[in-house]
Amino acid sequence: MITREQCLYWDQEDELKKFKDEFALPEGVIYLDGNSLGARPKKSLAVAQHIISQEWGEDLINSWNKADWWGLPTRLGDKVAKLIGAEALLRWHHPVLG
C-alpha cells in the first residue's frame, strides 16, 4: 500500500515540480485529471489576449501575413511531429499515407 509519506517523498523528488508555478490552479487544488486539457498555463492568458485584441481586433485580415497565420499549420505540424517522433518535414499540404 502506498503511504502518505511515500507520496510526499515522491513530490519532493519529482523532476517536473519546477514547472508547477507555470500553471494557474486555484489554491489548495490537487489536479490529477490527465484526460482533459489540463491546468491552464499562466502565460496562455496574455497570448490569447494579444491574439484577440491585436491580431484579430486591430490587424484584422492583415494578420494572415503580419502574424504569419499562413504559416501556422506548418509550425504547428512540425511541433506535433517532434512530439510523436514523426518527420518534421511532412507539411500540412502534403498527402499523408498510412
Number of domains in the chain: 1
Dihedrals φ, ψ of 23, to 5°?
Answer: -120, 145
The string of pLDDT tens digits covering residues 19-38 is 999 999 999 988 888 788 88
77 CB-near residues (< 8 Å, 6+ apart): 90, 91, 92
Query: How far is C-alpha 50 from the chain's CA centre?
Result: 16
pLDDT of 34: 73
Q: Does any domain span residue 98?
A: no
| 89 in any annotated domain | no
Please report the pLDDT score of residue 53 as a whole number. 98
Spatial distance between the Cα atoms of 6 and 16, rounded to a whole number of angstroms: 17
Residues in the chain, pLDDT under 70: 88-98
Within a domain: 55: yes
Overall pTM > 0.75: no
Range of the domain at 63: 4-84
Q: Residue 41: which H helix or E strand, with range?
A: strand 40-41
Backbone φ, ψ for residue 24 (5° rounding): -90, 115
